[in-house]
Amino acid sequence: MTLDEKFNALEVENAPGQEARKEPEDLNAIMRGEKLEGIPVDFSHGDVDAFPPTPGSAEAWRVGFESGAAQAYTEYRGAAEIRKGLADRLAAFTGRPISADNELIITPGTQGALFLAIGATVATGTKVAVVEPDYFANRKLVKFFGGEIVPIPLRYLGTSSENGPDLNRIETVFKSGTKVFVFSTPNNPTGLVYSADAITKIAALAASHDVTLIVDQLYSRMLYSGEVYTHLRSCEIQPKNLITIMGPSKTESLSGFRLGVAFGTPQLIDRMERLQAIVSLRAAGYNQAALNTWFSEPLGWLESRVHQHEAIRNKMLEIFRAANLLTATPQAGSYLFLQLPPLCVSLKTFVRLLRYQAGVTVTPGPEFAPAFTDSIRLNFSQDFASAVAAAQRIVKMIEIYRI
Amino acid sequence: MTLDEKFNALEVENAPGQEARKEPEDLNAIMRGEKLEGIPVDFSHGDVDAFPPTPGSAEAWRVGFESGAAQAYTEYRGAAEIRKGLADRLAAFTGRPISADNELIITPGTQGALFLAIGATVATGTKVAVVEPDYFANRKLVKFFGGEIVPIPLRYLGTSSENGPDLNRIETVFKSGTKVFVFSTPNNPTGLVYSADAITKIAALAASHDVTLIVDQLYSRMLYSGEVYTHLRSCEIQPKNLITIMGPSKTESLSGFRLGVAFGTPQLIDRMERLQAIVSLRAAGYNQAALNTWFSEPLGWLESRVHQHEAIRNKMLEIFRAANLLTATPQAGSYLFLQLPPLCVSLKTFVRLLRYQAGVTVTPGPEFAPAFTDSIRLNFSQDFASAVAAAQRIVKMIEIYRI
């Protein structure tokens, strides 16, 4: 693979936050009717103005800054004192003890944790099982490190008993040389939470076939009423190599701090730290101090935040289902994956029109796996009224452009 | 190369900031005499308590935080407004215009910039010229991406007309398939500044042999009395592919913010951004705002900081030279590379003894190239009195352990 090929595979044009760089192009020849008025909404990522950072996070940063050298130059895996507190709180959350010394690394965002985890486990030719659809960076990272993608289908539009990853396929590929399995639960982009049964089976299969598991649990705190979350770390049978990834960028809106954590198998955490040392040394020192607020938020804060998101979710589902559009009910997180009916323009053009004509930015389905040319992802962590109005504009746009 | 081999090459035990993780071991059997009293000094990196962050940097962070979503989710290459101001100021400093849109990326520290630059230019088998001695991550990064290291000797203990990189060797290797040349000026660890003649020749050779240049100018603002700095970007003949790297972590003590910049060839900046998108998305958003203080410090601030470092440098040179120890005069930056006489213990043991017996942490020479088993690096950006006392302890330790 030449460097050109390698970097073409890392195309970022449709990635969240990058839309600003696109050249304005004339869509007037394609556009039907007038522009739809309304406050522009960027569903490609959450709005931290609508849902501001955790109370006390800026103050925690300042304490870090004031503490000076010790907080500026932490170990590459993060400040020991901060890891200590985190290890206890994350162990309580995920159901298994974590050694702050050997089993935890603080990273520059959850993205940083994923990069290090995949860099630490994937080399040229490594077979890596990747769920379709799943977070777009998973595929890109595997390709970047020379791995071979082994797709695992995820069913998400059926009944709750039908939904989930294809466990037979997982068993088959685990038996035939797959070395690493990376997946997110709650799933990005669908909001599907892997069932206790699926998680238990994946853990057992990984243990018996010696497959390394990388489990991205970024959204596991934003769990809606009546849903149950199963931490893979809490299963009785544990695989030899397991990395769990989390971070405070989403539910807690600390994305501007670029903080994440990975915890699990000491040998892998050690490799990840070695890689971190040449990638960016450490998560920004003063920022690490904001992790002291994580899983230590004021009483009721988390419940209130989840409740507010559930209200938006419910309203979005109501709007889209009233228009007979297909979407799974997000069980957790703030992503909604909407299936579109056949349109008279390509998905790419429709996504551009949504932005140009309706002031709505979304992420196109093929970012999550090539086949999803009929779907778009919305991050509904937005101002309620703006999100509702924007969802209604999406429905109107679909009416205008459907065949 | 297996993953084990790959990660063994990334050994971080001797890396600055990692010493805290070493197991305490019993050196008493080897130690001669008593412990040397004094305030412990960690020369492996600068002390940001002795030289605090730029005035206004914490306030700039707060402004970034308060500005909310726009600053939390910047483009992967960094916030456009911040890049705009930076491009102008860096162009004035380095002697050539910079397009804020296409020629500049904000990175998580200078380390982040180096990682992206080498990741964007080095693939399996790429021949990369690396200076010996030079910053340790250069070698590790080239190996990590599968490149082949082509060593370039640097002379630094001769007269100023003798000193510098071996230009004949550079020409030879450029003619025989070297594709990338990465080097730091001021050189880390020696403090040598590449002469105008050397820089001009390197630029011309790179242009005629189509070699990509990655120039790490991290310390170029900390220039001592009477010294002249030549920016490769200011040469008349420019190579087709050139990336210049800088950052506010050293002279400005903003290391706790993890900020750096790379600027140069648009195609390479574009690749670096694609890589950043899967590595850590962006330099922490709110932190980026601290770059507004960079090259905009209060009048006289830089001169005073350089002056204070020059005083420490002079005193260190006086102490080491009075003891007949060999070291080059750092022309810029706060590194001093000290050659040791033959000792009755290995360098590794001596470095451990320095820490255990004398409370002095230094970086061993082999980090900068395998041959430098007789040298140690000191970052003298420390409290003046503590640094002086620690240098005197180093001299005593050499007396104790010399053959």
Q: For residue A65, which residues of chain B lie inside 8 Å, CB to CB?
A: 53, 58, 61, 256
Residue A361 belongs to what H/E stretch?
strand A360-361
* Amino acid letter, residue A96: R
Instruction: Specify whether the backbone of A129 is left (phi greater than 0), alpha (psi in -120 to 50) or beta.
Output: beta
pLDDT of A16 > 80? The answer is: no
Q: What whole-number distance in Å separates Cα of residue A46 and Cα of residue A48? A: 6
Q: What is the mean pLDDT of residues A370-392?
A: 98
Q: Terminal CA-to-CA distance of chain B, rounded, Å?
A: 41
Specify whether the CB–CB gap between A63 and A81 falls below 8 A: no
Rg of the Cα trace of chain B?
Answer: 21
Tokens of A204: 């057992």
Strand partners, B377: B337, B363
Confidence label for B16 from pLDDT (cuts 50, 70 and 90): low
User: What pLDDT does residue A21 have?
Assistant: 53
Q: CA nearest B279: which of A275, A298, A111, A314?
A: A111
Q: Do B278 and A58 make contact, defined as CB atoms within 8 angstroms?
A: no
User: What pLDDT does residue A71 have?
Assistant: 97
Q: Do A275 and B7 make contact, defined as CB atoms within 8 angstroms?
A: yes
CA A323 vs CA A327, A347, A395, B202: distances in Å = 11, 19, 7, 65
pLDDT in tens, B306-323: 999 999 999 999 999 999
**Does residue B307 belong to the interface with chain A, where contact is any CB pair within 8 Å?**
no
Q: What whole-number distance in Å separates Cα of residue A14 and Cα of residue B158? A: 54
CA nearest to A110 within chain B = B280
Residue A327 belongs to what H/E stretch?
strand A326-327
**Does residue A76 belong to the interface with chain B, where contact is any CB pair within 8 Å?**
yes
Q: Calculate the CA B387 to chain-centre distance.
A: 20
pLDDT in tens, B45-67: 999 999 999 999 999 999 999 99
Specify whether the CB–CB gap between B86 and B261 falls below 8 A: yes
* Sign for the pseudo-dihedral over CA of B289, B292, B295, B297: negative
Q: Do B278 and A10 make contact, defined as CB atoms within 8 angstroms?
A: yes
User: What pLDDT does residue B7 have?
Assistant: 87
Distance from CA of B158 to the nearest CA of A (A): 32
Q: For residue B7, which residues of chain A lie inside 8 Å, CB to CB?
A: 120, 271, 274-275
**Does residue A266 belong to the interface with chain B, where contact is any CB pair within 8 Å?**
no
Question: Between residues 86 and 125 of chain A, which touch chain B (CB distance below 8 Å)?
Answer: 107-109, 111-112, 115, 120-121, 123
Q: What whole-number distance in Å separates Cα of residue B53 and Cα of residue B31? A: 38
Task: Collapse the DSSP code of A50 into the 3-class scheme (helix H, G, I; strand E, B; otherwise coil) and give the result.
Answer: coil
pLDDT in tens, B145-179: 999 999 999 999 999 999 999 999 999 999 999 99
pLDDT in tens, A83-117: 999 999 999 999 999 999 999 999 999 999 999 99
Q: Do B256 and A120 make contact, defined as CB atoms within 8 angstroms?
A: no
Question: Mind giving me the DSSP string for B362-397?
Answer: -EEGGGT-TT-TTEEEEE--S-HHHHHHHHHHHHHH
Q: What whole-number distance in Å separates Cα of residue A402 and Cα of residue A343? A: 4
pLDDT of A181 > 90? The answer is: yes
Q: Which is it for strands A164-165 and A148-155: parallel, antiparallel or unpaired?
A: antiparallel
**Does residue A149 belong to the interface with chain B, where contact is any CB pair within 8 Å?**
no
Q: For residue A6, which residues of chain B lie inside 8 Å, CB to CB?
A: 123
Residue A311 belongs to what H/E stretch?
helix A301-322
Q: CA nearest B257: which of B112, B79, B80?
A: B112
pLDDT in tens, B210-233: 999 999 999 999 999 999 999 999
**Does residue B140 belong to the interface with chain A, where contact is any CB pair within 8 Å?**
yes
pLDDT of A4 > 60? The answer is: yes
Q: For residue B47, which residues of chain A lie inside 8 Å, CB to CB?
A: 69
Q: What whole-number distance in Å separates Cα of residue A294 and Cα of residue A289? A: 10
